[in-house]
Amino acid sequence: MNYKAAIALAAISFLSAEETQKGTELEAITVSASPIAAHEAFDVPCQIDAITDTKEASSASMGKILSSIPGVNNLSTGSQAGKPVIRGFSGERIKVLSNGNPTDSQTYGIRHIDNIDPLLAERIEVIRGAQGVLYGSDALGGVVNVIAPEYLAAKEGETLFRGTLLGEYHTNNHEKATALKTQSAIGKWGVNVAASIREADNYHSGDSATWKSGDAPGTLPLFADELPYTDFKNQSARVGVGYTEEDFKFALQHTYWQSKQNYLGHTPKPDFEAVASAGQKLTNDETQLSATKNLGEWSIDTRVSVTRNQREAATNTPYQQMQTVRGTPLYLDIDTDRKDFHVSIGHPMIGMFMGEVGLEGYTKDQELKEGKLLPSAKEWGKAVYLFEEASLEKWILQAGLRYDTRSVKAALEGTSSYFVDHGIYDDSTNNQEFASWGGSLGATYKIDETWALAANLSKGFRAPGIFELFAGGMHGGVQAFQIGNPHLKEENTLGVDLSLRYKNEGTYSSLTLYRNTVDDYIYLANTGLYRNPVTGEVAPTGIPEMKHEQTDALIEGIEWSFEMPLGSLTTLRATAEYIQGEDTKNDTRLAYIPPSNASLGITQQLGAFGIGSNNELTVDMRVFEAQKVAGAFEPFAQYNTMPFGSADTSGYALFDIGYSTQLQIGKSKVDANVKVSNLFDRAYRGYLDTYKGYALGMGRDISFGLSMPFETN
């Protein structure tokens, strides 16, 4: 799939769109599209997509769930760990919000996961474009907002209660998930309670032989079929209380999340045996308090959150045995306490603009209890922003300005003295300060009721974090020795995108071209050196050394989506993405840029028959281009020099088929679905799969899901 093919497909879609028949309305109101007024996603300048169907959230991997959205890809490690890549940006350039509040999940590593359970969400929104001014540093590539259900309110003297019981099972890795979500109300007071458990065994790859000594180099993976040390277990719970009046809302909620997982690695040559490169236990406690008050045409919105995150990991030890190595150099224990506040004032129409001015800030206290990966450190920041919107007949204009400051200070004593002694930083570089301004300007022009043009121009900013500045030790999860760089500067971006959109009842199509330049782009480079994993000293053999460096970058691409009814019961869906990332300073490609890809799907409504109603059949195909690593500096590129596997990936296509129905069981309606992923059990390596050097992606998986809503008045 190249850009010419993408443009040709888009042109065909726009021409055929005029001939479509009437169907169901596609676009729902997107609440977070604007802080000023509710809009449909079609109307706002920035690009917004949402996942609202529980069938789409049938995974612990946030990246996998969101990868059905055009321009979003999955940076994966096994069946659980998946991080979204949005228009080529990933990691700390994607800001993940928990119900509008910033999260801090220690997600600095390429295999670290977001500490949020998507199964408990009401909806997940992906925002990209010029609205980063609302979110500040770490939102260069986009924003993922995991939104909890609203609080119910009943009439005086009345009560409400409703909920949903969910269940899933996956055959590939015997993954099981159960969740209960409830909402209740007594008068103006509402209570939300939710809990889930998800666990899985090792997953199985597509059908393939494995490499043995004497086989041709690079032709076979080291591990296939059942991949050891890919099991995990998650649990989460949330309880909250809310009060709702016409001009006042208040909510207090607490969310608990814990995950235990293993990562597959291998021993050094000549044996190359399977080993748990790391076992992990992650725990996240988050308390949020929010209040909104309308004062006539003015409004005040306040939010405060307190988060405690604990990361425990053990090198070369599965999570089931982690406690046996506690107190040894193999163990890592990091606690992070974070506090965030936000206050904004919305003002009525002044001239042609309505808007809000906001102030927000945070403090972060990271304590290294055991281990040598990164030091104890403190981080704090504050920001002020202005966001304005005007609606002028066929135009919607949005503009914003923001100023951020951030300070990072690493400790010099205690457990942090190791990093000083090894020359990672000293008392002249352990205290860093960053400041920059950002801005956005977006406009949508409604050509008529069905066509719209949208454009965005934005300037963004991202300060390097603790890991990028001060890391200096064995990172078991990726089997590498990672080094920070205390001399890093902040990243600054200038981005522009242009979209042509079409919507006519059942048909929707969008074609977007974007271009982002990044000054002082921070990347993790494989230096070509090796270190002893125990002493940390440079050695002839051992684990690869990786260090944070900077360059200038350009990321540009085209994304296209299309949905059209073929008659009254059939819907055709298609997407295409062409993307390129370039290191402009060194005239080479950027690492971890997704391969160009395309998808084609069809949904067939089957009506009611037998004991089921709303029967629906879906068939989907997604195709990925071949992709080579950007160079020897790219992490995991070392597998191109191994006797097995490869860091480069071939092109491949995956097929899925699904069926859903609604069953009447007594007085209850139960939604049931079954889906076969990787229908033909294709053996493949995904370019954004960090196991690609030595293992294959997931093979055929048959999943079963049930969703039973219930309600009493």
User: Could you read off the pLDDT of 453-510 as tens digits, one per residue?
Assistant: 999 999 988 999 999 999 998 888 888 899 999 999 999 999 999 999 999 988 999 9
User: In this predicted structure, what is the pLDDT of residue 133?
Assistant: 65
Query: For position 6, what pLDDT does the model report?
Result: 46
Share of the chain above pLDDT 90, in %: 67
Is residue 698 scored above 90 in pLDDT? Answer: yes
pLDDT tier for residue 665 given thresholds of 50, 70 and 90:
confident
Q: Cα separation of 627 and 591, whole Å?
A: 11
Distance of CA 598 to the CA centre of its chain: 20
Return the minimum-mean-pLDDT range out of 2-16, 185-199, 209-223, 569-583.
2-16
Q: What is the pLDDT confidence band of residue 354, given thresholds at 50, 70 and 90?
A: very high
Backbone conformation region of residue 645, classed left if phi is above 0, alpha if psi is from -120 to 50, else beta: left
Report the pLDDT value the prediction gives residue 10, as an integer from 0 to 100.
47
What is the pLDDT, as a whole number, of residue 5?
Answer: 47
Q: What proportions of the chain, in percent to the nearest 5, are helix, strand and coil? A: 10, 55, 35
Q: Could you tell me the pLDDT band of residue 106, with boundaries at 50, 70 and 90?
A: low
* pLDDT given for residue 672 in this prediction: 94
d(CA 153, CA 151): 7
**315, HSE (Cβ side, Cα atoms, 13 Å):** 22
At 276-289, the pLDDT tens digits run 999 999 999 999 99
For residue range 120-169, list pLDDT tens digits in order. 999 999 987 656 667 877 888 888 999 999 999 988 889 999 999 999 99
pLDDT band at 615 (very low <50, low <70, confident <90, very high): very high
Contact call for residues 673 and 704 (beta carbons, < 8 A): yes
pLDDT of residue 659: 95
pLDDT at 28: 52
Give me the chain's average pLDDT, please. 89
Among 105-119, 273-287, 289-303, the minimum mean pLDDT is found in 105-119
What pLDDT sits at residue 57? 61
Mean pLDDT of 236-252: 96
What per-residue confidence (pLDDT) applies to 215? 82
Non-local (6+) Cβ contacts of 594 within 8 A are 73, 85, 88, 577, 579, 687, 688
Confidence of residue 30 (pLDDT cuts 50, 70, 90): low
Per-residue pLDDT band for 27 (boundaries 50, 70, 90) equals: very low
Q: Per residue in 541-598, pLDDT tens? A: 888 899 999 999 999 999 999 999 998 899 999 999 999 999 999 999 999 999 999 9
Comparison of pLDDT for 8 and 277, the residue scoring more:
277
Residue 567, judged by CB atoms within 10 A of its CB (0-12, 13-18, 19+), counts as exposed
Length of the chain: 713
Position 39 scores a pLDDT of: 78
> What CATH fold (topology level) applies to the domain 3-712?
Maltoporin; Chain A (2.40.170)
Q: Can you give the pLDDT at residue 11?
A: 46
Q: Where are the alpha helices (DSSP H) in 29-173?
A: 62-66
ω before 270 within 30° of 0 (cis)? yes
The predicted structure's pLDDT at residue 56: 61
Query: Amino acid identity, residue 383?
Result: A
How far is 238 from 10, CA to CA, in rounded Å? Answer: 43
DSSP annotation of 89 reads B
Q: What is the pTM of this model?
A: 0.91
Is residue 25 predicted with pLDDT exceeding 80? no
Q: What is the average pLDDT across 31-40?
A: 66
| Cα–Cα dist 558/413, whole Å | 50
3-state per-residue secondary structure call for 167-196: EEEECCCCEEEEEEEEEEEECCEEEEEEEE
